[in-house]
Chains A and B, each alone.
Chain A
């Protein structure tokens, strides 16, 4: 078989995917780029070309910086916590103990719970008057009076991070556990016989197996975290005092609430750019680790 035919065949096999993607993502994307250079409003007058004015206005405005900060805080802390807790949980589940398969099955629950249900569940739990968290903490004597978890700018974003983390750390745990179980038993045993300490065992025996799958998990979770919309929409809609307004929520406000489709489009592209930079970095990392394996 000639290599030209192999390449052509590959393209033919990819064709359905590419057609769908170009039709439903590529074209709207191009349209978004066009919109971003205009002052088009969602309804009414069609916009004029305004060059980079939308971008200039956004990048210098306080709304963008605030939303960027909130998004970064959300992404960094939720993903970091999910990865850490996930790996710890996986290390635990890699041990032999009675009830292990039960606990492993439990991990499926938060993972399978729809995001919107999770958001709604935690909103009920955080409810300042009738919420379970307040009731529990006061009954345990940890809290002296009920607090408004989602109503305080100081706690709202953290409360959402915690809710997101609860749902997503089991996913990381399941991925990491699967990787750990691929470590041959004799290697694990040999390391113990050699007297390797717990950290050394983790670093030199388990990490080589964990690195690849964890990078994938990290990429997916980081992308998701930067796009975050659903959980915030259901829990706070960006309040209080914009303390949970992330980039996606800001795009929504610009484009739909304020009807500035042009400005919303340019903001959306900035978000895309930020996510792409992160993702490109990860993909480069992954290819490097992939070529080593």
Chain B
């Protein structure tokens, strides 16, 4: 018994040492990605493989975390002297990352071809205070998805163009007994809820902050947006479980045929149309998120993400090569099924648009009206205050007005 234990121990130690030993390549880059929405893990691995084929002296180690862990892992690594060379970052973080010196200022590395070739909306993703902190990679916004079959059964000719129209169409579907609660959203206490709120806020012409950087969402369009959200919940046209849903839950409900409308990111289009994954394949319609009469034609949140090089990286040049490769038009066109390219001319390239013409048509309209969430170094705190307000209002624990006023007081701005 004792001998067996000892030999096991030595074996375990030897294997542990083996696993801890560094790999042999001239340069090893470590990159942090997310395992959620947009490009799949397999896509990212394949793109990276193509990169290392072109750069045999560089090895790239990939790490995938759920979106919720992306920010925390990045700052934790940075706080302890680094770890990642390339990180994926959400549009809401450049302000915080810039003021804490997380990302390398890449303003000088942007060539004129890049500058002109990439959509202006995409650039806003990686810029803060006049500087550019990386390359946009995932150009994303929330679209309104609808189930063509259910709309047809309800006698609805065209998908809604305004939020009020969405509510009345949903009410029709409910009245006809086709679905109990026709709309599904991601309103769990998370960033996803803020994205939905931002979309509607932009439709109603609201704004987060006033000219002095003080909260302004508790009045005007910001207030109307939350009133709308709480209203659909109260009227029973929103799936009440939306309050605990994230994007993947929304997709699950929608592709199971249990929702007529869903607000979600680009990636849902091709997955919900995949018969292996979805019961509604072939019945998926997509349009820009609606507007508001007299204020807007369509609405969209800027939910894009960029790739940047960290200030602690020991291989900044190789890391930047990797970033430019991953964001290059060639690579993006090749993997355009789950995330659309950042490059203007791609949208007219048949290789990209084939089979997803509807999505591309919606994208052309949506990407032009993408509305930003506020750029402030203390975004995380503001976001949490907003998440709380949204949840209080949709759960009927506070009126939208009270909830948003409290959020404004607690936002730390």
Min CB gap B83→A, angstroms:
12
Which residues of A from 255 to 293 have beta carbons under 8 Å from B? 256-259, 261
| Minimal Cβ-Cβ distance residue in A for B378 | A258
A128 to B245, CA, bound (A): 10
The verdict on B178 contacting chain A, using a C-beta distance below 8 Å, is: no
Min CB gap A156→B, angstroms:
8
B395 touches A241 (CB 8 A): yes
Q: Please, what's the 1-or-0 string for A241-263, where 1 marks a CB less than 8 Å from any CB in chain B?
A: 11000000000010011110100
Residues of B within 8 A of A130 (CB): 252
The verdict on A152 contacting chain B, using a C-beta distance below 8 Å, is: yes
The verdict on B188 contacting chain A, using a C-beta distance below 8 Å, is: yes
A12 to B387, CA, bound (A): 55
B75 touches A256 (CB 8 A): yes
The verdict on A167 contacting chain B, using a C-beta distance below 8 Å, is: no
| Minimal Cβ-Cβ distance residue in B for A131 | B241
B395 touches A42 (CB 8 A): no
B189 touches A42 (CB 8 A): no
Residues of A within 8 A of B190 (CB): 237, 239
| Minimal Cβ-Cβ distance residue in A for B390 | A241
Q: Please, what's the 1-or-0 string for B368-391, where 1 marks a CB less than 8 Å from any CB in chain A?
A: 000000000000110010011001
A238 to B190, CA, bound (A): 10
A152 to B99, CA, bound (A): 37
Which residues of B from 47 to 102 have beta carbons under 8 Å from A? 68, 71-72, 75-76, 78-79, 96, 99-102
A148 touches B240 (CB 8 A): yes
The verdict on A151 contacting chain B, using a C-beta distance below 8 Å, is: yes
Min CB gap B251→A, angstroms:
12
A146 to B76, CA, bound (A): 40
Known: A153-B395, A238-B189, A242-B189. Contact between A43 and B79, CB under 8 A?
yes
B100 touches A129 (CB 8 A): no
| Minimal Cβ-Cβ distance residue in B for A260 | B381
| Minimal Cβ-Cβ distance residue in B for A61 | B410
10 contacts between A and B (CB under 8 A): A42-B76, A43-B102, A44-B99, A45-B100, A129-B253, A150-B244, A152-B395, A239-B189, A240-B244, A257-B384
Q: Top 4 nearest A-B pairs by Cβ distance?
A: A239-B189, A151-B244, A44-B100, A128-B241
